[in-house]
Amino acid sequence: MIRKHLRTWSLLTALSLSLVSVVTACGGNENGNSGSSASPNSNSPSANASGVSDSKENVKLKFTYWGSPQEKKAMEDAIKAFEKQNPNVKIEGLHIPGDDFLQKLNAMIAGNEAPDVSYSASWKLKMGEEGLIYDFNDLMKEDPTIKKEDYLTYAWWNWAADKSAGPFQASVTPTLMYNVDMFKEAGVELPPTKAEEAWTWDEFVAVAKQLTLDRNGKHPDDPGFDPKNIKQYGVKYSLGWNGYMPLVLSNGGDYLSADGKEFGLSKPEAAEAIQKIADLINVDHVAPSPVQASSIPAPATALQSKKVAMVVDGSWNHLDLSKTKLNWGVGVLPILKDYKTFFHGGSLVIFKSTKHPKEAWEFSKFLTDPNNVLELHQGLWMPQMKKWYEDPALIDKWASEDLPGRPAGFQDAVMKSTYEHEVPAPENNVKNFVEIDAAVGPALDQVWLGKKTAEQALKEIESKVKPLVQGTYLK
Amino acid sequence: MSVISTETQRNIGPKRRKAFKNDLNGILFASPAIIGFLLFTLGPMIYSFYVSFTDFSGTNVPSFIGLDNYERMFSGKDQYFYKSLGVTIYFVVLSVPTAIIYSFLIALLLNRDVRGKAVFRTIFYLPSIVPIIAISFIWLWLLNPDLGLANEMLQSLGLPTSQWIFGEKSVIPSLAMMNLWTTGGTMIIFLAGLQDIPRQLYEAIEMDGGSRLAKLRHITVPMMTPTIFFNLIMGIINGFQIFSQAYVMTNGGPNNASLFYVFYLYREAFQFSRMGSASAIAWVLFAIIMALTIIIFKTSRKWVYYEGEGTR
């Protein structure tokens, strides 16, 4: 008798346990093992509780972002500062590390738990087309304190000529960073800091050669130089678009043709520039190939360990460099003909599903103001409002050369040179950039390895890229 | 007549009820797995099949576009479909046979009664439980052409070095080689199969004067064909779905030489925001693997020998 009941009871327990676990899994955050995203308190309960959304009512915002531990801390400080200024607003900051930010965001949107404000990457353009996010132009219309002209000319993510997902919130630019001691030891003059005095490409290569040594201490032009045993490289050039595009632009080339109808990289001016960078590796022997580069650490460490004397890469590295004891400097980029460069960066988007657009707008403005995230603007990022480049008092706050993240010459070499020679970056200007880049990358793989010339490799993918070329957003 | 039938009825009644109760118990016990399958596997599969005929981006309202996604793939408009299929097939053709042969041989060794065989078995099995991401990072360093152990060893033996995962031609063979290290699970299954072979067969062939090679050829391998069959199918199914190595180590390169099918799928979904297309890609993979599995099943009758079946 007892056994009979035991069996029934154990079966009932097993069934109810399984049903409970299934229901919990379904009802909660369907993304399961997201360690950092707390069980989402969606906005709906609080909005319903507060009734009509009044500015004095309690408002809850959800903000999703990514970034290093440093960035996370800076964001948390910014959130606290905003909450202090606006005591009726509570912000739930969700830090989502890793590469699956979009996956988690998609799941949140699908589950009707989209955040109010979020970091965003190029997928925001599709969301704009689908009507998921606010057009920044609409938001600006209602706010008298902000005008489009206040911002850098090309620092916008637009999904149509007149529809914008917003301005950059975290600007960076390609820069030339170097180890001062290595230059002094080799008796080489330091890189110029004024755009008007920028090195020509040949001058740049000559300097790099003086700073390249093989295991026997020989330079590339010395007899008996062994390119297979290089101990120290003159320069590590970023092989992504943030590395080759400034040089392409300086040679009169561009990602697309002037009318935006044709692929520009396969044209002579662009191909020539890309070839020159590849030659750094295979002809001049002053730069590491992708194979060797894979074992060279990030710029800050590479300069510190004296593996390379110069690095051409993004300015976000200034933050890491500022934390080392290295004697480092910045210079203007080398050019072929004219000095041209760009800002690029991420932006904040505000989802239309937000119940509190006004507060979300205020928060996004708050985060874009360097005053509120000052520490990150002193190394990792650069501002996107023009006044921060023109007003000496403001310049001093983020670009004073007393700051560890801003070495001597920074204002000329990075701030002014980019501000005064700004063109759009391909990332936010070229339609379908992500897909075109996905085709360009593999083609350039062969160029960096010396298997094909830039012209050959890029011409080969021309036909594949053609259907993706559909013009630009900004210029 | 009636007496018998009533008695019989009274006897059948409880038996049938018991049988029904047994069935009910069975279903109840299996219900978590069944519900889980319906909700988390079958349901999403049906949804993804529907999505593959739409232009779903992950966030928009999907609208029906018919066979467009499939047409893009098969007509070559999508430049990566045939390339990734070729790359993946190349990998499967290279890695599955080598993995089976390798793990079979190791299992033969592990089957011997040597001292410390438990230690050996653990050592060979351990890598298969290390997460594939961690394995990818380890091998990134081992195979580094300048600093890695692999080229150091080759150099010290006076052999030519390789670019490993940085060379277009050498990336897939490198990954197939790396795959061998993780075949612990297959080894264990082979080991179990080996231990099932009846001893008297070996004794019989010994009496007939059979060498070790003859034992292998005439007893071990034929008796192991069911296990080989299982491992072959599992190897093919898993081989087609290889992803992490491309994601962590090569990013599909160099020049798309390691653009595995599932990596291409992932990119469509999460970098190009084309869920509809990605779903179509997934279903094509399903069809391919299903077709291969059916083919192997059909031909298995010719070469798989199940004990107790009599002669083929």
**Is the CB of B163 less than 8 angstroms away from the CB of A443?**
no
Closest of A341, A330, A347, A340 to residue A399, by C-alpha = A330
The confidence score (pLDDT) of residue B178 equals 93
Closest by Cβ to B25, choosing from A11, A294, A451:
A11
If you measure CA to CA, which chain A residue comes closest to B57? A126
- A223-239 as b/e: b if 16+ CB within 10 A: eebeeeebebbbbbbbb
ipTM of this predicted complex? 0.80
How far is the C-alpha of A126 from the C-alpha of B273, rounded, in Å? 8
* Binding-site residues on chain A for chain B (CB distance < 8 A): 7, 11, 14-15, 18-19, 21-22, 26, 100, 102-103, 106, 109-110, 123, 126-127, 130, 132, 290-292, 294-295, 434-435, 438-439, 441-443, 445-446, 449, 451, 464, 467
Distance of CA B44 to the CA centre of its chain: 22
Q: How far is B97 from chain A (nearest CA, A)?
A: 29
Contacts of B133 (CB under 8 A, 6+ apart): B244, B248
For an interface test with A, which of B255, B260, B263, B279 has the most A Cβ atoms less than 10 Å from its Cβ? B255
For an interface test with B, which of A215, A291, A447, A462 has the most B Cβ atoms less than 10 Å from its Cβ? A291
Predicted confidence (pLDDT) at residue B5 exceeds the cutoff of 70: no
If you measure CA to CA, which chain A residue comes closest to B62? A130
Closest of B138, B127, B126, B128 to residue B165, by C-alpha = B138
> What does the pLDDT look like over A51-94, one tens digit per residue?
334 456 788 999 999 988 888 888 999 999 999 999 999 999 99
Predicted confidence (pLDDT) at residue B41 exceeds the cutoff of 60: yes
Asked if residue B279 lies in contact with residue B70, where contact means CB atoms within 8 angstroms, the answer is: no
- Proportion of chain A above pLDDT 90, given as a percent: 49
The confidence score (pLDDT) of residue A42 equals 38
Asked if residue B300 lies in contact with residue B279, where contact means CB atoms within 8 angstroms, the answer is: no
What are the E-state strand segments in A104-162?
117-120, 156-160
Q: How far is A42 from chain B (nearest CA, A)?
A: 18
Q: Which residues of B touch A446 (CB under 8 A)?
A: 168, 254-255
How far is the C-alpha of A98 from the C-alpha of A114, rounded, in Å? 19
How many other β-carbons are positioned within 10 Å of the β-carbon of residue A301? 14
Do A56-172+345-399 and A175-341+432-468 fold alike per CATH? yes
Distance of CA A190 to the CA centre of its chain: 28
Phi, psi for residue A80 in degrees, rounded to 5: -65, -40
Closest of B196, B218, B193 to residue B205, by C-alpha = B218
Per the model's pLDDT, the better-predicted residue between A68 and B67 turns out to be B67
Phi, psi for residue A287 in degrees, rounded to 5: -125, 150
**pTM for the model:** 0.83
Predicted confidence (pLDDT) at residue A328 exceeds the cutoff of 60: yes
DSSP string for A256-318: B-TTSSSBSTTSHHHHHHHHHHHHHHHTS--S--HHHHTTS--HHHHHHTTSEEEEEEETTHH
B144 close contact with A: CB closer than 8 A: yes
How far is the C-alpha of A299 from the C-alpha of A305, rounded, in Å? 10
Q: Which residues of A touch B253 (CB under 8 A)?
A: 441-442, 445
- At A268, list the tokens: 């002579």
If you measure CA to CA, which chain A residue comes closest to B269? A103
**Is the CB of B255 less than 8 angstroms away from the CB of A11?**
no
Query: Domain segments of chain A: what residues?
Result: 56-172+345-399, 175-341+432-468
How far is the C-alpha of A331 from the C-alpha of A324, rounded, in Å? 19
> What does the pLDDT look like over A26-52, one tens digit per residue?
544 444 333 333 333 333 333 333 333
How many other β-carbons are positioned within 10 Å of the β-carbon of residue B18? 10
Q: How far is A258 from chain B (nearest CA, A)?
A: 25
Distance of CA B91 to the CA centre of its chain: 13
Mean pLDDT computed over A124-147: 88
How far is the C-alpha of B162 from the C-alpha of B139, rounded, in Å? 14
What CATH superfamily is the domain A56-172+345-399? Periplasmic binding protein-like II (3.40.190.10)
CA distances (Å), A257 to each of A268, A269, A466, B223, in order?
Answer: 12, 11, 12, 67
**Is the CB of A467 less than 8 angstroms away from the CB of B77?**
yes
Asked if residue B108 lies in contact with residue B220, where contact means CB atoms within 8 angstroms, the answer is: yes
Q: Is the dihedral of CA B57, B63, B64, B65 positive or negative?
A: negative
Mean pLDDT value across chain B: 89
Task: Report the CATH fold assignment for A175-341+432-468.
Answer: D-Maltodextrin-Binding Protein; domain 2 (3.40.190)
Asked if residue B240 lies in contact with residue B289, where contact means CB atoms within 8 angstroms, the answer is: yes
Q: How far is A444 from chain B (nearest CA, A)?
A: 8
Q: How far is B9 from chain A (nearest CA, A)?
A: 24
Closest of A343, A368, A345 to residue A117, by C-alpha = A368
> What does the pLDDT look like over A370-419, one tens digit per residue?
888 888 888 889 998 899 999 999 999 899 888 888 998 899 888 999 99
Asked if residue B224 lies in contact with residue B216, where contact means CB atoms within 8 angstroms, the answer is: no
A-to-B residue pairs, Cβ atoms closer than 8 angstroms: 81
* Bridge partners (DSSP) listed for residue A335: A200
Q: How far is A199 from chain B (nearest CA, A)?
A: 32
**Is the CB of B147 less than 8 angstroms away from the CB of A14?**
no
How far is the C-alpha of A269 from the C-alpha of A455, rounded, in Å? 10
User: For every residue of B85-101, which 3-state class applies, written as one string?
Assistant: HHHHHHHHHHHHHHHHH
B41 close contact with A: CB closer than 8 A: no
The confidence score (pLDDT) of residue A49 equals 38
Closest of B105, B89, B55, B15 to residue B242, by C-alpha = B89
Asked if residue B70 lies in contact with residue B52, where contact means CB atoms within 8 angstroms, the answer is: yes
If you measure CA to CA, which chain A residue comes closest to B60? A130
Contacts of A250 (CB under 8 A, 6+ apart): A273, A333, A335, A336, A337, A338, A339, A340
**Is the CB of B271 less than 8 angstroms away from the CB of A7?**
no
Predicted confidence (pLDDT) at residue A360 exceeds the cutoff of 50: yes
How far is the C-alpha of A31 from the C-alpha of A101, rounded, in Å? 12
Name the amino acid, one letter, at A118: S
How many other β-carbons are positioned within 10 Å of the β-carbon of residue A241? 23
